[in-house]
Structure 1
Amino acid sequence: MLFDTHVHLNADQFEEDRDETIRRAREAGVEYMTVVGFDRKTIPKALEIAESDENIYAAVGWHPVDAVDMTEEDLEWIESLADHPKVVAIGEMGLDYHWDKSPEDVQKEVFKKQIALAKRVNLPIIIHNREATEDIIEVLEQENAEDVGGIMHCYNGPVEYAERAIDMNFMISLGGPVTFKNATLPKEVAKAVDMKHLLVETDAPFLAPHPNRGKRNEPAWVKLVAEQIAELKELSYEEVAETTTENAKKFFGIQS
């Protein structure tokens, strides 16, 4: 059994075959999924998908690339959705220095507002990080994010920052990049971080794992991520699958 802790089944890329994609995931042993909504379009779709399946959950937040577009009304809307029975986290949120749509100071402001929101509704947070690891850790420490904890989604930073995140009650989630031949950092993290702090994900339709790199990713392929972690940690696939699933269920407060 597997838990894909971060998937975008709400993306347009799945519009034509979403049900078939979910079926393939289940056939591959992926019992649970968290669909992440991050703007006005993807949040309602994430909730719709979660409502349609007992073992699919939703996260709601605002993506840092679009931070400049977020209004106070959007923030209030996200906060109002925290009571939804299928919403298990706030996010994805964070910092993205790769794209230049939203200035860094605006991204940080929106990031901090969402951390404060998560504290008000007592839900963990999901962190998007692109080329901003040091600043993200500093914001999390400054804002006392350990009060709610969270997930470092598709973590691709150094081990030492992963350890600082773990000290703040964060889980480290690994995705397709851990399978890439030239991806040194995720492999180092997979080896160094104790299994009790690890999760697996796809971030589908993005970041398809080897040998499917370059294709549209899908949740069934989270199995390839778990297999790679098992190889790196010299554990059985079954142990990695079971432990990461139990980690995710405990983190999200899922009893089933």
Structure 2
Amino acid sequence: MFVDSHCHLDKLKQTERLGIQAVLEKAQQAQVEHMLCIGVTPDDFASMQTIVGDHPQVSFSCGIHPLYVAKHGFDEASLRALCARNDVIAVGETGLDYYYDKDNHRLQQRSFAAHVALATELNKPLIIHTRDARKDTIDILKEGQAERCGGVMHCFTESLEMAEQAMELGFFISISGIVTFANADALRDVVRAVPLDRLLIETDAPWLTPVPHRGKENEPSFVRHVAECVAKLKDVSVEEVAHVTRENFYQLFQLERTPL
């Protein structure tokens, strides 16, 4: 059985067209037993709840993505209220993105630091997005004592050095479909070096569709292809990757298993 540790079920076009049940049935047929649906703004949370709130195989996070902070602002009180809910198991998606947003570094940093403080206050793991901001990301995590809550570096594409620094803080490294891309040799080297018991797998659906489904909308059922690539790189079976990453997920988020 697989776990998709990071997806956006509310953003899938096929959810709008076919309904969420069809997406979840395809995931079940692919032996995906649990999915973490990630919030990128507080405004998204109500729609997430409406779409998948009644499905025990789906959990939720809530946060403000660094690329949305400038547009949506940062209302700490409303974010705290949502993240404190029992059905929210993680704080984020949060972090820093200097690749796409080159003008709002200070605003991103303030938002990220507030998310870290909230996560440690609530003792809920962080979901971290980081791109071209290695030093500032690690510095803010250290300053906020993020090792107290832990979390995951989602869709990791940075250096092995950064992965090691994050793991020292108790963070897991999550691998997406990017690992299957032809130009992802550097990421594949990182996967080879990171211990399996520190890895998670994800789709980041509807984006970053893995080989062999490039050109299609990504979905949780495709997480198996990420696991297959990781298994090849680690020279272990797909079943071992599925088992260990699933155990890592339930350990990090302190969840009861939801077997199919």
- Alignment TM-score > 0.5, same fold: yes
Provide the residue aligned with 1:110 in structure 2.
111
1:66–1:101 Cα contact (<8 Å) kept: no
Which sits farther off after the overlay, 184-193 or 173-182? 184-193
- Number of matched pairs: 255
> Aligned to 1:29, which of 28, 31, 43?
31
One-letter amino acid matched to 1:34: L
2:42–2:82 Cα contact (<8 Å) kept: no
- 1:12 is displaced (CA, Å) by 5.3
Cα 1:138–1:185 change in 2 (3 A) is farther
2:42–2:63 Cα contact (<8 Å) kept: no
Alignment of 1:90-105 (within 5 A): 90-100=91-101, 103-105=104-106
Provide the residue aligned with 1:3 in structure 2.
3
Aligned-partner Cα distance in 1 for 2:12–2:230: 30
Provide the residue aligned with 1:157 in structure 2.
158
Cα 1:199–1:187 change in 2 (3 A) is same
Flag as ranges the 4+ runs of structure 1 deviating above 6 A: none
- 1:186 is displaced (CA, Å) by 1.9
Cα 1:128–1:199 change in 2 (3 A) is same
The sequence identity of aligned pairs, in percent, is 38
* Structure 1 spans left out of the alignment, 5+ residues: none
- 1:144 is displaced (CA, Å) by 1.6
One-letter amino acid matched to 1:7: C
1:4–1:33 Cα contact (<8 Å) kept: yes
SS of the residue corresponding to residue 203 of structure 2 reads: coil
- 1:181 is displaced (CA, Å) by 1.6
Which sits farther off after the overlay, 116-125 or 40-49? 40-49
Provide the residue aligned with 2:65 in structure 1.
63
Partner deviation per Cα, 1:168-208 (whole Å, 9 max, x = no partner) = 01000000111112102221121111111000000000000
- 1:81 is displaced (CA, Å) by 1.8
- 1:133 is displaced (CA, Å) by 2.4
Provide the residue aligned with 1:52 in structure 2.
54
Aligned-partner Cα distance in 2 for 1:75–1:101: 23
- 1:66 is displaced (CA, Å) by 1.5
Which sits farther off after the overlay, 46-55 or 154-163? 46-55
Provide the residue aligned with 2:126 in structure 1.
125
Cα 1:101–1:38 change in 2 (3 A) is farther
Provide the residue aligned with 1:194 in structure 2.
195
Aligned-partner Cα distance in 2 for 1:80–1:109: 19
Provide the residue aligned with 2:183 in structure 1.
182
Provide the residue aligned with 1:222 in structure 2.
223
- 1:34 is displaced (CA, Å) by 0.4
1:93–1:111 Cα contact (<8 Å) kept: yes
TM-score normalised according to structure 2 size:
0.93
Aligned-partner Cα distance in 2 for 1:148–1:199: 17
1:94–1:136 Cα contact (<8 Å) kept: yes
One-letter amino acid matched to 2:169: M
- 1:50 is displaced (CA, Å) by 4.6
TM-score normalised according to structure 1 size:
0.94
2:12–2:206 Cα contact (<8 Å) kept: no
Aligned-partner Cα distance in 2 for 1:79–1:112: 14
2:42–2:62 Cα contact (<8 Å) kept: no
One-letter amino acid matched to 2:225: L
Aligned-partner Cα distance in 1 for 2:101–2:160: 27
2:131–2:158 Cα contact (<8 Å) kept: no
- 1:105 is displaced (CA, Å) by 0.7
Alignment of 1:200-215 (within 5 A): 200-215=201-216
